[in-house]
Amino acid sequence: MRRSRPLFRVAASLFLIGVIAASLFAFPQKPAEAALAAPAESTCVTTCRNVPPTAQAAAQELLNNYNHGTFIVEWAERAIIPNEIQPIANGTISGSPQCNIDTRTLQTLVIIIRNYGSLQTSDLNRHCANDTVATCQSNPTSRHCVPSTGPSAMDITYIGGARTRGNDAASGILLSFLDSFLPSGSRAGQASGGSGCGTYAMPSLRNISRFTDSCTHIHIDLGSTTSPLRNLTTG
C-alpha cells in the first residue's frame, strides 16, 4: 500500500493543477468591461458635455460616425441611414415626417458612441426601416412606431465591441450609464424572466423601469416623458 502513495500524490497534484487552471479560464476578470472601449464613464459627465443641441446636429454627428464605422446599422434595417438619419441631418425630414426620430434618442446614441467608442443598432423608427417581421402593422403601439412626431425607441446589439443582449454584463454597464442622464420615466427591455433571458441580476436603476422582452438585444425608450435628457451641456 505504501508503494502506491507517490503515484497517488502525482495524480492528486495533476487534478489540483487542473482545477486551478479551469477556474482561471472559467472566471475571466470583468469580461464586458475588458471588451468595452476605454476610457468609458460609468456616470455621464465629460461625455455629456457639448452634446449636439438639435436633431439635425446630432444626426450629422451620427452620420459622421457611420462613415467612420463607429455607428453600425444591422443589414436588415440598413434603410435607417438613407430613410431616417440622412434626411434629419440634411434638414429635409419634413418631407417624410413619419421617418423622424426623437431628438433625445439621437443625442443618446451620440453619447453612447462617445463613451464606448462604437454602437450597433438593429432598430430605430420602424415606419421607415424594418426587417419585415417586426413592423408597425404588427405592433402599432411599439415605441419604435409612436409617437407620430418621432419615436424614441432604440434597439442596441453592441456597444464598444461588447454584445448587448439585455441580460449580460455589458447591458448592465450600459443601463447604469444611461440611468445617469435619461429622464425619469424611461424604459428598458429585458427584465428578468423574459423570453430567452433566464434569471439574472442587474443594477438597480432610478430613472429607467424594465419590461420583459426577448434577450437578443437591449431595448431602450423614453416612455411617455417629454422631459429632456438630464445633466447635459449642449454646444
Partner 1 sequence: MSQARRAALILIGAVAAMTLAGCTPQAQSAASSHSSRPSSSATHRPTPTHTSDRPTTSPAPSASTPPDPPSGTGSDPAAAKALAVKACQAIAGGFAAASVAQARPLAQEAAQRDPIWIPLADDLAYIEKNPIDPNTGEGPQKTIDDSATAAHDCFHLAGVQVSQD
Which of these segments, 13-21, 46-54, 88-96, 227-235, binds partner 1 (CB under 8 A)?
A: 13-21
C-alpha cell at 73: 446599422
Site string for partner 1, 77-96 (x = CB under 8 A): --------------------
Overall size of the chain counted in residues: 235
Provide CB contacts within 8 A for 159, sequence distance 6+. Answer: 36, 112, 116, 118, 119, 120, 170, 174
Phi, psi of 55 (to 5 degrees): -60, -40
Beta carbon of residue 234, minimum distance to partner 1 (angstroms, whole number): 25
Closest CA to 161 of 149, 170, 150: 170
Which of these segments, 43-51, 52-60, 104-112, 146-154, binds partner 1 (CB under 8 A)?
A: 146-154
Q: Decide: helix, strand or coil at residue 208.
A: strand
Tell me: does residue 155 bind partner 1 (CB under 8 A).
Answer: yes
Q: Burial, 141: exposed, middle or buried (Cβ in 10 Å; 0-12, 13-18, 19+)? A: exposed
C-alpha cell at 234: 449642449
Q: How many residues bind partner 1 (CB under 8 A)?
A: 79
Tell me: does residue 110 bind partner 1 (CB under 8 A).
Answer: no
Tell me: does residue 136 bind partner 1 (CB under 8 A).
Answer: yes
Provide CB contacts within 8 A for 147, sequence distance 6+. Answer: none
Tell me: does residue 220 bind partner 1 (CB under 8 A).
Answer: no
Binding to partner 1, residues 41-70 (CB under 8 A): 66-70
Which of these segments, 44-52, 53-61, 103-111, 159-167, binds partner 1 (CB under 8 A)?
A: 159-167
Binding to partner 1, residues 176-205 (CB under 8 A): 189, 193-196
Report the alpha-carbon distance of residue 220 to residue 59 in Å, rounded: 18
The residue with cell 444591422 is 74
Tell me: does residue 37 bind partner 1 (CB under 8 A).
Answer: yes
Beta carbon of residue 8, minimum distance to partner 1 (angstroms, whole number): 6
Judged by CB under 8 A, the residue of 6, 25, 204, 233 near partner 1 is 25
Beta carbon of residue 223, minimum distance to partner 1 (angstroms, whole number): 8
